[in-house]
Amino acid sequence: MTHILHIDASARPGIAGTDNHGSHSRHLTYQFAGQWQSGRPQDTVTYRDIGQNPPSFINHDWIASAFTPQERLEPWMKDALAESDQLVDELIAADILVIGTPLYNFGMPAALKAWVDQVVRAGRTVEIDESNPTDPYVPMLADRPRHAIILTARGGVNMSPGEEMAHMNHLETHLTTALEFVGITRLHYIAIEGQEVGGEILAKSVADAIQKVETLVDELQVALENATSLQPA
């Protein structure tokens, strides 16, 4: 059985095409989750809407607690890390991470950055090897295959890697660095572009992205079925 962690980071609560001023990134994540569960109803999903319920920003108490050895944590330190522990536990439990996020001002929304700051954590998702000062970081989530599906929406166009406006898009590169740092290296990206332009450009981008989501779900489910059939009885 596969477990999915589904995260939406858009400040817009609705879904584009259904609700006024709805979110295009939510449209993609709901398409992914709905199609996935239709094909594999036995799989489970944890849903977290950080766009409407943002994680806390890390502060002095968090930093002091996160870098204190477990055996020396005081009660107030455990309280300071309680939210982070829950978010980390959700990430560790996931086989597939699905993130729906818009591009805001060249990067990720503040709510998604707060989530990243809560889950990239020494001793929980990355180990620090003090015997190797030049490269001390050891990802802890490389213990088993995990996939991350990054479903994005942006107002501009031609902002994918290698395209003429890619230098203004730091969203996917930031997420890639953070996820690979903790050991999630099987990354898949699908984007909707042209929200500011609208019209046929946006409509085509939406249709293309939905088709790519459908194809990705099919490919991942076939790969899972094949991997399961190859396991020894």
Each residue's pLDDT tens digit, 91-106: 999 999 999 999 999 9
Q: How many domains does the chain have?
A: 1
pTM, two decimals, is 0.94
Annotated ligand binding at 65? The verdict is: no
Annotated ligand binding at 160? The verdict is: no
Domain containing 47: what range?
3-230
pLDDT in tens, 182-214: 999 999 999 999 999 899 999 999 999 999 999
Residue type, 13: P
* Residue 231's pLDDT band (cuts 50, 70, 90): low
Residue 228 has pLDDT above 90, yes or no: no
**CATH assignment at residue 77:** 3.40.50.360
Annotated ligand binding at 167? The verdict is: no
* Residue 226's pLDDT band (cuts 50, 70, 90): confident
Question: By CB neighbour count within 10 A (0-12 exposed, 13-18 middle, 19+ buried), where does 118 fall?
Answer: buried
How open is the CA angle 209-215-100, to the nearest 5 degrees? 45
* Residue 232's pLDDT band (cuts 50, 70, 90): low
Q: Facing residues of 4 across strands?
A: 45, 96
DSSP structure string for the chain: --EEEEEE--S--SBTTTSTT-BHHHHHHHHHHHHHHHH-TTSEEEEEETTTSPPPPP-HHHHHHHTS-GGG--HHHHHHTHHHHHHHHHHHH-SEEEEEEE-BTTB--HHHHHHHHHHS-BTTTEEE-TT-TTS-EEESS-SS--EEEEEEE-SSSS-STTSTTGGG--HHHHHHHHHHHHT--EEEEEEE--TTT-HHHHHHHHHHHHHHHHHHHHHHHHHHHHHHHHS--
Annotated ligand binding at 131? The verdict is: no
Contact 183, 139 (CB under 8 A): yes
